[in-house]
Structures are given as structure tokens and as C-alpha cells.
Amino acid sequence: MTIKYILLVIILLIILKITGKFRSRELAGREYLLWLVVWVGGAFVILRPETATFVANLVGVGRGTDFMVYISVTVLFYLVFRILVRQEKTEREITKIVREIAINQSVRPLGTNNNEYERDTINK
Amino acid sequence: MFLCSSVLVMRIYALIPAYNEEKSIRTVVADVKRYVDEAVVIDDGSSDATSSEASAGGAFVLRHVVNRGQGAALQTGFDFVRETELRVAPARPAPPDAVAAEARFRNRGLVVVTFDADGQFEASEIPHLIGPVVCGDVDVTLGSRFLGKSINMPLLKRLLLRLAVWFSNITIGVRLTDTHNGFRALSASALQTIQIIQDRMAHGSEIVAEIEKHNLRYVELPVTVRYSEYSKAKGQKFLDYFKIIFDLFVRKLVQ
């Protein structure tokens, strides 16, 4: 029984924290709403476990907790996938920047009417 | 030197990506310079004296401020050659006659050799490797240590490389004997078409995939790869091979 209340307190603290982030503009409105729904939903399911069982039976799964686990794991996998994809994009952008610096620092300006290009300090 | 007669006035570039190779880079540059017009070293964020050693050896140096990987370094080299030869930056506004300029570039007497910085390759094999490109027979020449010679190659590395080659031959339509060999020659056309997006070691497979995708003409030629204590110590970690195979696998899945 006590676990329930500990979890509820934690969730309350989390809700307070993300509200704070929203207020201070660190968190976008849409995202805030999404996470709010998640945490309030979580609190709701903890308070009234029957909800989970009800929905679980709707979709043909035996126990409410099992259902929660299935949903959570699926969502987590999806989120992680999104993060990895985003990270890959970021890596490519970093490379583009590093490349631009490398080429810019060595050739300037790009000659229009002459064949010589100025060399930088490395290439004197 | 070349077997064909219709040789344009050729500019030969050597691109040497390097990461912490201060001990070998100077000799490598000196050797390579004997066979090319311009040696370009791309220093991939080295923490040692690679840049200054390369410069001292007479190479033109490009420097990545942070380490991005050999694939990224090569592509930087490609972009650099394109910019200096084309006189236009890819990302910047193109000149009014961009299409014509690009066409001129493609037909230009230009060949780019990629060469490793650790001293495993023989610079004297450069003329042999660029031959087919210079004569206009192919767009890409790929060096193969299995067609040529591999001296003192660690057994495990040989096995893993064979495995990677086998896997590459299955997943990509281009049949090769050595898919991860840094000794290559490219024509201006290949330079314009190939785009390396894989920053790290999977770029070898990516080049092969690009050859297939753009139907580039290619040929594999024997080269000598010499393993010394120095280069063996610096060699790819075995984990990288599994990463390469994994990347190939994912690429096939995604297609």
C-alpha cells in the first residue's frame, strides 16, 4: 500500500517540476501537455488500478499491469528509436560544420580571376 | 607511363586522411608527392603534431576541428578538390553557368587518389592505380590486397576482412575481393557523384554502394599492403568490423 503513496508523491513532484519548466519557457506547450497527460494518467491508474484491468480486458489482455507494461515498453522503444534517428541527424550536421570550417580556413577567398588561393597559417 | 594515347593534361591529387599519425605522415607525404601534383592531408582532429608534420612534408593541410571519422575526412577532401577545381563552393550560390561549369568539371583532366596515412601502402603503385582512370576506361579504381600482396597481415584481421567482403558481395551488386581498402583512384565524374554520409569506418561499404547506385565504371587492381608493428597497433579494432557488417545489414533492410 505504501508504495502507492510514495509513487503518487513522486508523480506530484514530477508534475510540479515540468510545470516549472513550462513556466520558465524551457518546455514547449505541446510537450508539456503530453507529459502532463502521461503523468496524470499514471497517477490515475495507480489510484484506480481497475482502469487498467478494464482497458486490458477490452483489448484481450488478462491483467491490467501486463497491459501497462506492454504499452509502456512499446512506447519506450518508439521513443528511443526517435532519439537515435535524431542523434544521427545531429552527427551529420556536426560533420557539415566541421567540414565547412576545414575548407574555409584553408582556402580564402575563392579566386574568381586568379588561380592562386591564399593559404592559412598551417599551410604557409 | 600510361598505356593510352588520349591523355588530357592531368592534375593528380592525393587525399590522405589522417588521425594522430605524426610518426608516419611526413614520410608518407614525401613518398606520395613524387607521384602526384598536390598532396592533401585531412587532419581529422588529431591531438598530436600530424598537421605540422604533414605541412613540413609539403602537403596541403585541411584540419577538422574535432574528430569525425575517416569517411568524413575523405568527403571533406572530395569537397575541397571540387571547390578548388570547380572554383565554386557547393553550398554557396552557383555561378550563372553552373550547369556548364559542372559539365566542364566532369570532363576535366583530374584524378584523385586516396591513400592511407599509416605507411601501409606503396606510393610507387600510384601510377599503376590511376592508369585506368587517366585513360578514361573507368571512373573508380579500387585497390585490393587479396589480388595483390598483404605482408604480415594478422590472421584474425584477414578472416574478418574476408567475412566483410563476403557480406558486401551478397548485399551489394558490386563483386569485389577487397571492399575496405583505402587505396583508390577516382575520376572527376566519380568525385562529383559519390557522396559519403557514413562518417566512420562503414564508409568503405558506402563507396561500394555508391558505385552500384550510380553505375560507375570500376576496376579492381592488386596493391601491396604492408603491416608493421606500428600500423598493426594502430589498426582498426575488431569491434569495428562487426559494426561495418551491422551497418551493411541495416542498409539492406532499409532499402
For the segment A8-52, what is each residue's pLDDT rounded down to a tens digit?
999 999 999 999 999 998 888 888 998 999 999 888 888 888 888
Of B42, B60, B76, the CB nearest to A123: B60
Task: Please tell me the pTM assigned to this model.
Answer: 0.79
Residue carrying C-alpha cell 490515475: A44
68-107 of A, contacting B, C-beta below 8 A: 91-92, 94-95, 98-103, 105-107
Q: pLDDT by residue for chain B (255 residues), tens digit each?
A: 556 655 556 789 999 999 999 999 999 999 999 999 999 999 999 999 999 999 999 999 999 999 999 999 999 999 999 888 876 445 445 556 666 666 666 666 789 999 999 999 999 999 999 989 988 889 999 999 999 988 988 888 899 899 989 988 988 888 999 999 999 999 988 998 899 988 787 888 899 999 999 999 999 999 999 988 877 776 666 666 677 777 766 666 665
Residues of A in contact with B76 (CB under 8 A): 98-99, 102-103
Please judge whether A106 and B51 are an interchain contact, meaning their C-beta atoms are less than 8 angstroms apart.
no
pLDDT at A51: 82
What whole-number distance in Å separates Cα of residue B46 and Cα of residue B208?
27
Residues of B in contact with A106 (CB under 8 A): 60-63, 80
DSSP E strand stretches across B106-236: 110-114, 140-151, 184-187, 218-226
In terms of Cβ atoms closer than 10 Å to its own Cβ (0-12, 13-18, 19+), residue B133 is buried
- Structure-block grid coordinates of residue B48: 598530436
ipTM for the predicted complex comes to: 0.83
For B230, half-sphere exposure in the C-beta direction (CA atoms, 13 angstrom radius) is 11
